[in-house]
Amino acid sequence: MTPQAFYDQLEQDGFPLNDKQKEQFHRYFQLLVEWNEKINLTAITEENEVYLKHFYDSIAPILQGYIDNQPLRLLDIGAGAGFPSLPMKIIFPELDVTIIDSLNKRINFLNLLADELELTGVHFYHGRAEDFGQDKAFRAQFDIVTARAVARMQVLSELTIPFLKVNGRLIALKAAAADQELADAKKALSLLFAVPLENHNYQLPNGDGRNITIVEKKKETPNKYPRKAGMPNKKPL
C-alpha cells in the first residue's frame, strides 16, 4: 500500500487527511526506519508494508466505528513504536493518549516522535502495566484501553481492565481469530467483572485477515488485580 493508496483508501473510508496529517504519517515512517537501526522497533520497514500493516492496521478501531473524534482518554499497553494509538491520534487529534511501555529506549523514541509530529495530549510512561494498574493516578481512569498483538486474552484482560472506568472498553487487535482465546479467558473476565461485546474478523485492503475483540468493564476491578509484575503471565487467571 503506497502512501497515496493509503490516503485514497482513507478518503474512501470517510476519513480524508489534510496536508499536515499526511506529513505526520510521512515523518512517522522516516523516524521509525531511522530509529529501527538503533533499537528494535519493528520487523516491518518497507514503506508500502509500514503504511498497510502498521498505519492502516492500527486505525481499525476508527474504521470499524468503535472510536470517535472526541477527548476520550485512551491508554495503549505495550505500544512499542506507538501502534495502534499514535496513528489513531493523527486521524483523531482530540484523543488523549497515554502509552505505558516496559522499555525505556522505546519511550525515548516516542517522546522524540511526538515532538517531531507536534502531537499534544500524549503521555509516555516507562514501566510495567501490573505496577501502573495499582497506581491510583492510572487505575480506573481510562475510557478505552488498546492492545495490539500483546498477549492472550486470559493474560491481557488482567493487564488492561484495571485501568478502565466502569463501562470503559478494551479493544484488542490481533492477526488471528480469537474465539478460542475468548473461551479460555471466560474465568478471567468473570473475576475482573468484564464481558465480551464484539469479536469479529475483517480484512486489510490486501486481503490479510485480522481480528478485533471488544470487552466492556461492568464493575470496579477487585483490589488484588492486577497481581505483581510477571504473575499474570506465569499464572493466568
Q: Residue 176 and residue 20: Cα distance in Å, rounded? A: 33
158 is in an annotated binding site: no
Instruction: State phi, psi for 129 to the nearest 5 degrees.
Output: -55, -35
**Distance separating the N- and C-terminal Cα atoms of the chain:** 40
80 is in an annotated binding site: no
Q: Residue 151 and residue 137: Cα distance in Å, rounded? A: 24
Whether 131 and 230 have beta carbons less than 8 Å apart is answered as no
**Set of cell numbers at residue 230:** 510477571
148 is in an annotated binding site: yes
Whether 36 and 74 have beta carbons less than 8 Å apart is answered as no
83 is in an annotated binding site: yes
Q: Residue 187 and residue 153: Cα distance in Å, rounded? A: 11
129 is in an annotated binding site: yes
**Cβ neighbours for 235, distance < 8 A, ≥ 6 positions apart:** none
Binding residues: 78, 83, 129-130, 148
Binding residues for S-adenosyl-L-methionine: 78, 83, 129-130, 148
